[in-house]
Amino acid sequence: MNDLKKLIKELTRTADKKRAKNLQWFFKTGPGEYGAGDVFLGIKVPKQRQIAKKYPSLGLKEVKRLLDSNIHEFRLVGLLILIDQYQKASTLKTKEKIVKFYLKNSQRINNWDLVDLSVHKILGDWLLTHQSQKDILDRLVVSKNLWERRMAIIATYAFIRQGSSAETLKIAKKLLNDKEDLIHKAVGWMLREVGRRVSRETLLKFLEEYAKRLPRTALRYALEHLPERLRQYYLKK
């Protein structure tokens, strides 16, 4: 039995039907909802991480088969393996190959948790040292695909963690008029992290100019770690 079959068998054996039912509701998998068609086995993420570690050498062809599955845990484990391979890659050529694979399969990274656990660790990290390629974010941010737009803003978390806010603020401005709540939450989250990890002053300067235009959800997320006095000030602007 090859590694892919072993992995799938192990994941399937670990399924929890009761938990799966709750996850189907939590991730909005009903008709017309953002996660429509997503199928869950009901496996906790720590267990998925544990299983993924057993298959570090899975080839990209096999990872693609996981990503092509409608089973959420298959896609998540595929991404965990991909992250591990990217981080352990010994050459830039290998890293670039993984980044290109990630982008080519972006349509299959199609729920918020899949985006959030992977994009800053692969694409975001790559762009830190290949800034001439940051136009990738400009392409993603105007995509008709919700998840690609979320990728654009969450990828900038890699820059935030290095003390830089410019890319985050640039992408946040481009998403001011986005209609999707999941984008509002992502923008607010990244703005909050700018205030926490880069500079509160930088966040406040941005809010002075854009608080009135930020969707309410994004604004509330951005304000979470500010003193109540400042929170109320920006909420009433």
In the predicted model, what is the mean pLDDT of residues 44-51?
97
Q: What does the pLDDT read at residue 8?
A: 97
pLDDT confidence of residue 237: 80
For 39, 135, 215, the CA distances from 175, given in Å and listed in that order, are 29, 16, 10
Q: How far apart are the first and last CA of the chain?
A: 62
- Mean pLDDT over 34-42 rounds to 96
Shared fold status for 1-94 and 119-237: yes
Model confidence at 39: pLDDT above 70: yes
- Per-residue pLDDT tens digits for 188-235: 999 999 999 999 999 999 999 999 999 999 999 999 999 999 999 999
Residues 69, 14: Cα–Cα separation, whole Å: 17
So what's the architecture of 1-94 in CATH?
A: Alpha Horseshoe (1.25)
Query: Please, are residues 35 and 111 in contact by the beta-carbon 8 Å criterion?
Result: yes
Domain over 119-237 is classified CATH 1.25.10.90: yes
Give the total residue count for the chain.
237
The answer, as to whether pTM is greater than 0.85, is yes
Closest CA to 4 of 107, 12, 88: 12
Flag whether pLDDT at 15 surpasses 80: yes
Report pLDDT for 28: 95
Neighbours of 28 (CB within 10 A): 15
Domain spans, the chain:
1-94, 119-237
Q: Residue 159 is encoded by which pair of tokens?
A: 């820059």
Phi first, then psi, for residue 142 (nearest 5°) are -105, 10
| CA dist., res. 149 & res. 2, Å (int) | 36
Share of the chain above pLDDT 70, in %: 100
**At which residue do the structure tokens 């906790």 appear?**
44
Q: For 108-129, how does the pLDDT look when each residue is reduced to its tens digit (9 = 90+)?
A: 999 999 999 999 999 999 999 9
